[in-house]
A = this chain, B = another copy of it.
Amino acid sequence: MAEAVNIKRLAQELNISIATVSKALNDSYEISQKTKNRVWNLAKELNYTPNPAASNLRSNKTKTVAVVIPCVANNFFSLSIKGIEEIARQYGYHVLIYQTHENIEAEIAFTNSLLNGRVDGILTSVSSSEYNSEYYTNLVKKIPLVFFDRVYENLDAVRVTTDDYEIAFQATEHLIECGCTRIAYLFGLENLPAGKARFAGYLDALKTHGIAFIEQLVVKYHDDEEFNLQQIKELLEKHKPDALFSSIEEFIIPAYRACRELSLQIPNDVKVLSFSNLSTAALLNPSLTTISQPAFEIGREAAKCLFKILNNKQLDDEQNIILKSVLSKRESTGC
């Protein structure tokens, strides 16, 4: 559109070589302060900005990272992205977004398309459909990668996670303290470490308090709102749980609907507790007891790790950063 203003143009106007201009722009020690000032002034005057493609091609750096996640329209992930983006700004990086929709093939396809130098590194929260450890084992050898929340374990890559086991244990104990003994478990992310840890926390809390685990009280998540609703209604009718412990946010709406449609009072007839990052949890009817993950902080931490790696800084701590979730007790567990 506009007449190109590039390094060559600057060189001509100043009667110096393009090499000198380039070095001056990059504040090289080889160039005198006087020349640098001349270059910087003219660059500002002509509104020069370097061409990213040329720079990327030559230097093999893009100052860009990719975020690969299941879906951006989710409180947890949108908060994570917010955190990532803020840190990226500080480090001068650009952020590409890819949604997998929980489809591992899409996930692999996108990720592969990033390996030709499009990005310097990847931040990912993997899809729940499958646990394909082999793919990621190879991937982490090819490009700097940081997992957040939904991770692969035992790989040579940084992971940023939360205290899923502990907080699930604690939440289950809370329900037990409220007098519940038939605590149903709404099971999500069952293929992933996070999902397994949450379930383990639930099981261990039961065991610790001498409550038998009842398999019929477990409902697994399906990507079908109506189906989940029916499952929960069936659960409530057939097995009369006195609490619903949901391991993912997606169960909240069907759980509330199911109780409403069956005329069950929360928390009198059945108590409800869920992992959730909904900002409106306190305004629900009744207000919902939640386990909220520090999504924003997770994004920030993951991004910080990646940029440290990209800048060849040592990661002082170990490879697994664990942030604390928060249990907020509200009316839905009523005690």
> In the complex, A78→B78 CA distance in Å?
6
Question: A residues touching B (Cβ–Cβ < 8 Å)?
Answer: 1-2, 49-54, 56-57, 62, 64, 71-75, 77-79, 81-82, 85-86, 89, 94-99, 112-113, 115-118, 141-143, 252-253, 256, 278-280, 283-287, 296
Query: Given A283-B253, A285-B286, do A82 and B57 touch, yes or no (CB 8 Å)?
Result: no
> In the complex, A96→B75 CA distance in Å?
19
Residues of B within 8 A of A256 (CB): 283
Choose from B54, B75, B285 the contact partner of A284 (Cβ within 8 Å): B285
Closest to A74 in B: B78
Question: A72 and B72: CB pair below 8 A?
Answer: yes
- The smallest C-beta distance from A66 to any residue of chain B, in angstroms, reads 9
Task: Count this chain's copies in the assembly.
Answer: 2
Q: Is the interface of A mostly helix, strand, loop or mixed?
A: mixed
Closest to A255 in B: B283
Residues of B within 8 A of A253 (CB): 279-280, 283
Residues of B within 8 A of A2 (CB): 142
Query: Given A97-B85, A283-B256, do A116 and B49 touch, yes or no (CB 8 Å)?
Result: yes
> In the complex, A113→B49 CA distance in Å?
8
Residues of B within 8 A of A72 (CB): 72, 78, 81-82, 85
Question: A143 and B1: CB pair below 8 A?
Answer: yes
Residues of B within 8 A of A54 (CB): 53, 57
Closest to A52 in B: B118
- The smallest C-beta distance from A202 to any residue of chain B, in angstroms, reads 24
Residues of B within 8 A of A98 (CB): 85, 95
- The smallest C-beta distance from A106 to any residue of chain B, in angstroms, reads 8
Residues of B within 8 A of A71 (CB): 82
- The 6 A-B residue pairs with the shortest CB-CB distance, nearest first, are A285-B285, A53-B56, A53-B57, A78-B78, A73-B82, A49-B116
Choose from B52, B77, B79, B280 the contact partner of A117 (Cβ within 8 Å): B52
Question: B99 and A96: CB pair below 8 A?
Answer: no
Residues of B within 8 A of A89 (CB): 99
- The smallest C-beta distance from A275 to any residue of chain B, in angstroms, reads 15
Residues of B within 8 A of A78 (CB): 72-74, 77-78
Question: B49 and A115: CB pair below 8 A?
Answer: yes
> In the complex, A86→B49 CA distance in Å?
31
Between-chain CB contacts (< 8 Å), 17 pairs: A49-B112, A51-B116, A51-B117, A53-B57, A57-B57, A64-B96, A72-B81, A72-B82, A72-B85, A94-B96, A95-B96, A96-B96, A97-B97, A278-B280, A280-B280, A280-B284, A285-B286
> In the complex, A283→B332 CA distance in Å?
12
